[in-house]
Structure 1
Amino acid sequence: MKKLIISLLGAISFLTCNADKKEIVKYEFAYGDTIRTYSMYLPDTLRQNAPLVIYTHGYGSKTRWRTGLNATAEREGFAVCYPDGAPDSRGKDGWKVGYPPQDSMNIDEADFFAKLKEEVCSRFNLSRENSFMAGMSNGGDLCYQLAFTAPGLFRAYASVAGLLFECTYLNNPLPQAVPFMEIHGDADKTSMWEGDHDNTGGWGSYIPVPLAVSTMATANRCCSMRTETFPTLNDPTRTVTRTTYYDSPSGFDVEVYRIEGGAHSWHVKDIDTHNVVWRFFSKYLLPSKEDR
């Protein structure tokens, strides 16, 4: 097995992102006795010690990267890493957050992402301090899980259509303040806005999105909140409500975008998701070592 791992470490495949005509490069690295894979988007003008965003895909999703996020990375000067999840008992790639078919997965996601972050930052000379996580659906669930179990692993987290499971909520008090964002449709039938205490969806029991977000805000000791409403990008009859919890001792905010009538999606037809996520992350950028 060790010989196999060593022989595979240098393997690289090239995948083309049609939206921006730039190559996405896929890499392999050894994790325990397995080979895990991730793809990288590296802007042409990327500087040394640049920020890193790790994007975690949805459960069994074929969408492994986001061309809009790549375009934002090109403009703003950060790298994007797209790791591939591990298969569960159904053969679906994902992140272990407590779904019933994931019971057999022997993975500590906090440890895996700590190792992945070190691999990527070392290999591409990126900033460990200015590393962020954004995820969709199962990847958003992971953002909540890591915010509760390993909040210092990333500088900030952004979940889209993600959930906070009751087991995580009840058994893992937030140990420290962490900037957090949620973008969620209130008509999402997969990750329901109102929660699913009775596990009718089969994913496990999870709490309502407003409660999950307010839990993060309470842990951050946010003392103020404001609410703004504006129309969605493509349908002026539907609205987006952004609630920001702020004025905390740490200076870490919590934001939630409620998409009226929004289904289970990345919501690019409703808001400028990629730029919204990066604007949130950019508030927490630390000075690079070169600027100190």
Structure 2
Amino acid sequence: MRPRVPFLVVVSLVAVLMAGCSASPAAPREASPTSTSACAAASSLPSGETTRLSLTVAGEDRLFDVHVPAGHDGTTPSPLILGFAGYRAPVGELEREVGLNDSGAVVVYPQPASSAVGTGWQGAPYSSGADDVAFTTAVLDDVESRLCIDTARVFAAGMSNGGGFVSLLSCALPERIAAFAVVSGAVYPATNPPCPDARPVPVIEFHGTADDVIPYDGGTRHDAGVVPVTLWLSQLVARNGCTPEPRSETVSTGVEKQSWTGCRDHVALVHYRIDGGGHVWPGAPGSGEHVDATTLIETFFTAHPLP
């Protein structure tokens, strides 16, 4: 990935300077002033490095990696991104391939529990049965106790099965995670539960029309149904109270951006439909796609902190 301006850090610092100012009703959601106050304790993890940590959830030892950006001083609140890899993805692959560590945010890579057929996240037919929502909550509690985190700027991004789990988190933890990114998401019914009483959530999504692993139009994988992308998006449109029809524009060769307007609470819903695209993270090495998902995700996250 090419070097990028650390969008998330720039916006977080602006929020610190602007704390206490009122926002225009038409402006993107602003973080609450209390979430950006300086931290008193120094960081307990080394900056510029990735550290492997563990904790116990429901009697099971679980692992997660934490990348602290270089220059993190332990007193200025930092955004945090949760990065969820796909089914059977080698440990560290997501960190190596997609470039989230260049965002300037603290990036946390939880590891799924092992099952008889591999590693997968809660809600997928091949998952271990572990409560990964509880694991995610425990990880956030742990990292926020160790580092200076802006709790209004905690985000989640996932690829494939990890993207499906991010869909579940958007329903399960909307009060804890500000915005969500799903890439080639394996959205099964169990990762797409009804959540009519949940708050509106900002979501950005990428999917290729020629994805032969998780079909764009849905299908069956591992003896379970895959929710069609258009159906999943329509459910988010209803949840967020957006205008039913999106605004469409071609942003690159074969890439159509669909944006829904009029959503409640100034949230946003954006979908990148990649004509002929496969089961990849667009912009990652070897993806062959004409759009950089990581940069777009970072920009989207900066605009959508918790209210």
Output the TM-score relative to the length of structure 1.
0.79
Question: What residue number does 1:24 align with?
Answer: 50
For the 8 Å contact 1:72–1:274, the answer to whether it is kept is: no
Percentage identity across aligned positions? 27
Letter paired with 1:72? D
Q: CA RMSD in A?
A: 2.2
For the 8 Å contact 1:149–1:174, the answer to whether it is kept is: no
List 4+ stretches of structure 1 deviating above 4 A: 167-172
Secondary structure of 2:230's aligned partner: helix
- In structure 2, the gaps of 5 or more residues are 1-45
Structure 1: how far apart are the matches of 2:190 and 2:51? 37
Q: Displacement of 1:213 after TM fit?
A: 1.2
Question: What residue number does 1:240 align with?
Answer: 255
Secondary structure of 1:131's aligned partner: strand
Change (3 A) 1:261 1:149: same
Residue pairs, 1:51-130, within 5 angstroms: 51-62=79-90, 63-73=93-103, 77-90=104-117, 92-99=118-125, 101-102=126-127, 105-130=128-153
2:68 paired residue among 30, 42, 50: 42
Question: What residue number does 1:275 align with?
Answer: 295
Q: Displacement of 1:64 after TM fit?
A: 4.0
Q: Displacement of 1:212 after TM fit?
A: 0.6
1:214 paired residue among 219, 231, 234: 234
Structure 2: how far apart are the matches of 1:216 and 1:261? 24
For the 8 Å contact 1:186–1:262, the answer to whether it is kept is: yes
Q: Residues 20-70 of structure 1: CA distance to partner in whole angstroms, max 9, x if unpaired? A: xx6422122222322211112211123522100000001010114145434
How many residues are aligned here?
Answer: 251
Change (3 A) 1:194 1:174: farther
Change (3 A) 1:109 1:174: farther
Structure 2: how far apart are the matches of 1:149 and 1:286? 15
For the 8 Å contact 2:124–2:161, the answer to whether it is kept is: no
Letter paired with 2:95? W
Change (3 A) 1:250 1:171: closer
Q: Displacement of 1:174 after TM fit?
A: 5.8
Letter paired with 2:252? P
Q: Displacement of 1:180 after TM fit?
A: 0.9
Letter paired with 1:65? E
Question: What residue number does 1:3 align with?
Answer: none
Change (3 A) 1:121 1:115: same
**Higher RCO, Cα 8 Å, sep 6+:** 2
Change (3 A) 1:125 1:87: same
Structure 2: how far apart are the matches of 1:163 and 1:153? 22
Structure 2: how far apart are the matches of 1:25 and 1:168? 29
Change (3 A) 1:170 1:80: closer
Change (3 A) 1:240 1:249: same
Secondary structure of 1:132's aligned partner: strand
